[in-house]
C-alpha cells in the first residue's frame, strides 16, 4: 500500500471501488485517469489498488475501463444509526479536524421538494386540436429585453423606438460559468454550441479570454462584485451585460475561485496575481440600494451607448418579488432569478445547502408581482437554477419565464458526473480544471456536438409538448399557467404558484 | 490512402489505443483472453508522455520509408493497400529497420513463434477503421485521407 491512514485526519471513506480481478487486464487506464490519487498500480504485485478515502465517485475509472471491471459503491453508513445526527457527524468532524468550513461545489443536494415534479402539463383532446411539430411550423424564437407599452406605426413601418433585444432561436441559454471555473476547452465548446444554436453563453465573472472574443454575437458578459476582467473591449464583445448581484448556490456571498485554479492565463484574463484566491466581495461596493443599482445599470448602458440590454442576476431569496420590482424600476432590461438548486464552482457548504428559495416559487411570485404592478413588459425574466430537462423549461415558461439558463445540465452533457469536486481543480473529466493535462479530456469538437444535440433534442421535446397543448408559438405558452396543474401540493403552495390543483 | 492522424491536443493518456491494438492482433480478438490466457502480442502503437503533452505514435507509413530502404531481404514492403508492412516469412530479425525508423515505431516481437522479428503497425487489414482509432475515447486518433 502506498499510504497509511492516520487517525488524526480520519473520516470514513464515502465510496468503495470494487474491482473484478477476473476482468481486470492491468491496462492501467484507470490509474492514469484518476486525478484524485485514489487508484494506483503495484508493479511487484501486478495489482491495481484503490485508496477509498480519496475516491470522490467521479466514475472516470469505471467509464474508461475497457472491460467494465470497476464498480463504485456508496459505502454503507457504519456508525450506529441515528436519524438526527448521521448526516452531520462527518461534516462536524471535518470542521473540528481541519479548522475550516467545508467548501463544496455543484448545486444544493439536499432532499428539498422539487416543485417541477409536482406540476403536470395539459394536452388538447377533441375540443381543440393538437399540433404535430414534425408537420407544422413551430416557433421557439424568443426576444429578451424591455418591450414597449404600446407601438405606433407610420407608413407601414414601426415608429416606436424599441429597446435593444437579445434574439434567441431557442429559449435556453448557457448560464454564467467563468473561464477559471471551467477549462478553456469547455468555454470553447459552450461558445461554439451557442453560436450554432443561435443562443448565448454567459462568460461569468471571470472575464473572457481573447481567443474567445470570436464568439461575439453569442456571448453575454458578466460584471460581478469582483469586477474581474472588466474593460471596454470585454463589454463590447457581449450582446448583453449581466450585473451579478447574487447566485442561487450562494446567495449573499461573492464568487470564489480557489487559488489552485488561477493559472497564468487565468490571471491574465482576470487581471489578478497568479495563484491567489479570487474571492469576490459579497456585495457590489457601489450598490447598496436600488438607486445605486440604477446608477450602475446606466453607467453600463452609457459605456455601451445604449446598444445592449442589461441583465440583473439575483438569487431567489425571501423578498424576491419586491426586489425584482425594484430592479425593473431601476431600469434593467432583463432579470435573471437563480434558484437554490443552481450550481457553483465553489461555495461554503452551509450557504449552498441552506440559503435561498426554489426557483419555481420565486419565478411564480416575481411574474405575478410584475404583472400586478403593470410592469411585466418592462423586463424579461430568465429562470435559472435546477433546470434539469426540457419539461422543466416548458413549466418554467408556463410559470412566466421568458427563457432559462442551464449550467449543470450543459456540463452533464459534456461528461460531468456531479461528483462535486469543482473547487478542487482536479476534475477528472477535464471540465472544471486548469491543469493543462486534465483539461485535454474535453475535446471541444465532441463537447460542442453533444451540447448542440442536447439543445436540438430539448427543442424538439418542447415543440412536441407545446403541440400537444395546441400551442404553436412559445409566446403563447409564456405565463400560461392554465396549462399547469399541481399535484400533491398544499392549497398555499398552489396559491403561490398560481396554478390549479390537478382535477380542477 | 487513409492514415491514422495524431491530434496530440486531444490525447488523454489512457493507453486504450495500445489495449485495442493488442486485442486486434491477438489470436482470439477477445480482450480478456488476449490479456490473460494467450501469448500477448505487443502493441504497435505506444503512448508517449511529457507533462502536459501526451500522444500515441505508430507507423506513419512514410512515402520514402527508411525501413524499406534498410531492409536487406525485402521483408519490409509496401502492400497492395499502400501501407508499409513486414512479411514475417522473409524477416530475419536483423533490426536494421528498427535502427532506420525515425519515429521508433518498429519493435521486436516477443511471441515465441516470431520471436525477435520486426513488428509494426499494419493498419489493421481486417478492419475498415484501425482498432486504435476506434478505441480512442477523445478523437486523438482519427483515420483520414492524406
Residues 6+ apart with CB under 8 A from A372: none
Least confident range of A67-81, A162-176, A329-343, A429-443: A67-81
A173 sits in which H/E element: strand A172-174
Cell of A80: 450506529
Stretch A16-40: mean pLDDT, rounded?
A: 95
Domain boundaries, chain A: 7-100, 119-146+160-477
Out of A66, A67, A436, the one facing B52 most closely (by C-beta) is: A436
Kindly identify which residue of chain A lies nearest to residue B35, measuring between CA atoms.
A25
Cell of A255: 464568487
pLDDT at A465: 96
pLDDT at A1: 57
Q: Rounded to whole angstroms, how far apart are CA atoms A181 and A186?
A: 10
Q: What share of chain A is helix, strand, coil (3-state, %, to 5)?
A: 35, 15, 50
Stretch A140-159: mean pLDDT, rounded?
A: 94
Out of A32, A66, A67, the one facing B13 most closely (by C-beta) is: A32
All domains in chain B, ordered by first residue: 1-58+125-146 (3.30.70.20), 62-120 (3.30.70.20)
Cross-chain residue pair A25–B32, CB shorter than 8 Å? yes
The sheet carrying A119-121 orders its strands as A119-121, A484-486, A500-501
A363, A337 Cβ separation under 8 angstroms: yes
pLDDT at A454: 98
pLDDT classification of A206: cutoffs 50, 70, 90: confident
CATH for A119-146+160-477? 3.20.20.70
A104 strand-pairing partners: A347
Cross-chain residue pair B31–A437, CB shorter than 8 Å? no
Task: Tell me the Ramachandran region of residue A231: left when phi exceeds 0, alpha when psi lies from -120 to 50, beta otherwise.
Answer: beta
pLDDT classification of A10: cutoffs 50, 70, 90: confident
pLDDT at A11: 86
Task: Tell me the Ramachandran region of residue A325: left when phi exceeds 0, alpha when psi lies from -120 to 50, beta otherwise.
Answer: alpha
Taking each helix axis from N to C terminus, what angle separates A359-372 and A320-329, rounded to the nearest 10 degrees? Answer: 50
Out of A27, A29, A443, the one facing B139 most closely (by C-beta) is: A443
Cross-chain residue pair A25–B52, CB shorter than 8 Å? no
As a whole number, the mean pLDDT across chain A is: 95
B107 sits in which H/E element: strand B107-108
pLDDT at A86: 87
Answer yes or no: is pLDDT of B14 > 60.
yes
pLDDT at A4: 81
> Angle at the Cα of A254 (from A175 to A341), degrees rounded to 5?
45
Chain B residues in contact with A67 by the CB 8 A cut-off are: 31-32
pLDDT tens for B93-135 read: 999 999 999 999 999 999 998 999 999 999 999 999 999 999 9
A143, A169 Cβ separation under 8 angstroms: no
pLDDT at A2: 59
Q: Rounded to whole angstroms, how far apart are CA atoms B3 and A123?
A: 54
pLDDT classification of A356: cutoffs 50, 70, 90: very high
Chain A residues in contact with B19 by the CB 8 A cut-off are: 25, 27, 29, 66
- Among the CATH numbers 3.90.480.20, 2.130.10.10, 3.80.10.10, 3.30.70.20, which is that of A7-100? 3.30.70.20
A175, A409 Cβ separation under 8 angstroms: no
Out of A25, A28, A437, the one facing B51 most closely (by C-beta) is: A437
Q: Rounded to whole angstroms, how far apart are CA atoms A394 and A407?
A: 17
Answer yes or no: is pLDDT of A66 > 60.
yes
Kindly identify which residue of chain B lies nearest to residue A435, measuring between CA atoms.
B52
pLDDT tens for A83-118 read: 999 889 999 999 999 999 999 999 999 999 999 999
Chain B residues in contact with A435 by the CB 8 A cut-off are: 52
pLDDT tens for A409-437 read: 999 999 999 999 999 999 999 999 999 99
Q: Measuring CA to CA, which residue among A236, A235, A227, A311 is closest to residue A272? A: A227
Chain centre to alpha carbon of residue A354 = 18
pLDDT tens for B44-84 read: 999 999 999 999 999 999 999 999 999 999 999 999 999 99
Q: Rounded to whole angstroms, how far apart are CA atoms A478 and A402?
A: 7
Residues 6+ apart with CB under 8 A from B53: B8
How much of chain A exceeds pLDDT 90, in percent?
93
Chain B residues in contact with A23 by the CB 8 A cut-off are: 32
Got the DSSP string for A341-361? T---SSEEHHHHHHSS--HHH
Tell me whether A430 touches chain B (CB under 8 Å): yes
Q: Rounded to whole angstroms, how far apart are CA atoms B58 and B40?
A: 18
Q: Rounded to whole angstroms, how far apart are CA atoms B87 and B90?
A: 6
Residues 6+ apart with CB under 8 A from B135: A66, B16, B17, B19, B20
Amino acid at each position: 500500500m502506498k499510504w497509511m491512514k492516520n487517525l488524526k485526519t480520519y473520516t470514513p471513506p464515502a465510496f468503495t471501488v470494487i474491482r473484478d480481478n477476473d476482468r481486470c487486464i492491468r491496462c492501467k487506464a484507470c490509474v492514469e485517469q484518476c486525478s484524485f490519487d485514489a487508484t494506483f498500480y503495484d508493479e511487484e504485485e501486478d495489482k491495481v489498488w484503490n485508496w477509498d478515502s480519496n475516491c470522490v465517485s467521479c466514475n472516470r475509472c469505471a467509464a474508461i475501463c475497457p472491460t467494465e471491471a470497476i464498480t463504485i459503491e456508496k459505502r454503507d453508513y457504519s456508525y450506529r444509526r441515528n436519524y438526527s445526527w448521521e448526516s452531520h457527524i462527518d461534516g462536524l468532524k471535518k470542521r473540528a479536524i481541519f479548522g475550516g468550513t467545508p467548501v463544496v461545489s455543484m448545486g444544493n443536494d439536499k432532499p428539498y421538494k422539487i416543485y417541477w415534479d409536482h406540476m403536470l402539463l395539459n394536452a388538447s383532446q377533441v375540443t381543440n386540436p393538437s399540433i404535430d411539430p414534425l408537420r407544422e411550423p413551430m416557433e421557439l424564437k424568443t426576444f429578451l429585453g424591455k418591450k414597449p407599452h404600446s407601438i405606433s406605426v407610420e407608413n407601414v413601418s414601426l415608429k416606436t423606438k424599441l429597446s435593444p433585444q437579445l434574439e434567441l432561436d431557442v429559449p435556453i441559454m448557457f448560464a454564467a460559468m467563468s473561464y477559471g471555473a471551467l477549462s478553456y476547452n469547455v468555454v470553447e465548446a459552450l461558445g461554439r454550441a451557442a453560436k450554432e444554436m443561435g443562443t448565448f453563453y454567459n462568460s461569468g465573472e471571470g472575464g473572457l479570454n481573447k481567443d474567445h472574443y470570436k464568439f461575439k454575437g453569442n456571448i453575454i458578459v458578466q460584471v460581478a462584485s469582483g469586477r474581474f476582467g472588466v474593460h471596454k473591449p470585454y463589454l463590447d464583445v457581449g450582446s448583453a451585460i449581466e450585473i451579478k448581484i447574487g447566485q442561487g448556490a450562494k446567495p449573499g456571498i461573492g464568487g470564489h475561485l480557489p487559488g489552485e485554479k488561477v493559472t497564468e492565463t487565468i490571471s491574465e484574463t482576470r487581471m489578478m496575481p497568479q495563484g491567489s484566491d479570487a474571492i469576490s466581495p459579497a456585495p457590489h461596493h457601489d450598490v447598496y440600494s436600488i438607486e445605486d443599482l440604477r446608477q450602475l445599470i446606466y453607467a453600463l448602458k452609457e459605456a455601451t451607448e445604449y446598444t445592449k440590454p442589461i441583465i440583473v442576476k439575483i438569487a431567489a431569496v425571501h423578498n424576491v418579488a419586491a426586489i425584482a420590482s425594484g430592479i425593473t424600476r431601476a431600469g434593467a432590461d432583463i432579470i435573471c432569478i437563480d434558484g437554490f438548486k443552481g450550481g457553483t464552482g465553489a461555495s461554503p457548504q452551509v450557504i449552498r445547502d441552506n440559503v435561498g428559495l426554489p426557483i419555481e416559487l420565486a419565478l411564480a411570485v416575481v411574474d405575478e408581482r410584475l404583472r400586478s404592478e403593470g410592469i411585466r413588459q418592462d423586463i424579461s425574466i430568465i429562470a435559472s437554477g435546477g433546470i434539469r430537462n426540457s419539461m422543466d423549461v416548458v413549466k418554467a415558461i408556463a410559470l412566466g419565464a421568458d427563457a432559462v439558463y442551464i449550467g449543470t445540465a450543459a456540463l452533464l452533457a459534456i461528461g460531468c458526473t456531479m461528483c462535486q469536486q469543482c473547487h478542487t481543480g482536479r476534475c477528472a473529466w477535464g471540465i472544471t480544471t486548469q491543469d493543462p493535462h486534465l483539461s485535454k479530456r474535453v475535446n471541444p469538437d465532441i463537447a460542442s456536438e453533444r451540447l448542440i444535440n442536447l439543445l436540438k433534442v430539448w427543442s424538439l421535446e418542447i415543440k412536441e409538448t407545446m403541440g400537444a397543448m395546441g400551442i404553436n408559438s412559445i409566446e403563447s405558452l409564456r405565463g400560461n399557467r392554465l396549462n399547469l396543474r399541481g399535484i400533491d401540493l398544499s392549497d398555499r403552495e398552489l396559491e403561490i404558484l398560481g396554478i390549479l390543483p390537478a382535477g380542477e | 490512402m487513409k492514415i491514422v492522424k495524431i491530434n496530440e491536443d486531444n490525447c488523454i493518456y489512457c493507453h486504450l489505443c495500445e489495449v485495442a491494438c493488442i486485442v486486434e492482433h491477438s489470436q482470439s480478438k477477445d480482450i480478456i483472453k488476449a490479456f490473460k490466457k494467450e501469448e500477448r502480442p505487443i502493441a504497435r502503437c505506444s503512448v508517449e508522455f511529457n507533462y502536459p503533452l501526451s500522444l500515441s505514435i505508430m507507423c506513419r507509413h512514410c512515402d520514402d520509408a527508411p525501413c524499406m530502404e534498410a531492409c536487406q531481404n525485402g521483408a519490409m514492403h509496401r502492400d497492395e493497400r499502400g501501407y508499409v508492412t513486414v512479411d514475417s516469412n522473409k524477416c530475419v530479425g536483423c533490426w536494421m529497420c528498427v535502427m532506420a525508423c525515425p519515429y521508433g515505431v518498429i519493435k521486436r516481437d516477443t511471441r515465441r513463434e516470431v520471436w525477435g522479428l520486426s513488428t509494426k503497425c499494419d493498419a489493421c487489414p481486417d478492419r475498415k477503421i484501425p482498432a486504435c482509432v476506434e478505441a480512442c475515447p477523445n478523437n486523438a486518433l482519427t483515420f483520414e485521407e492524406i
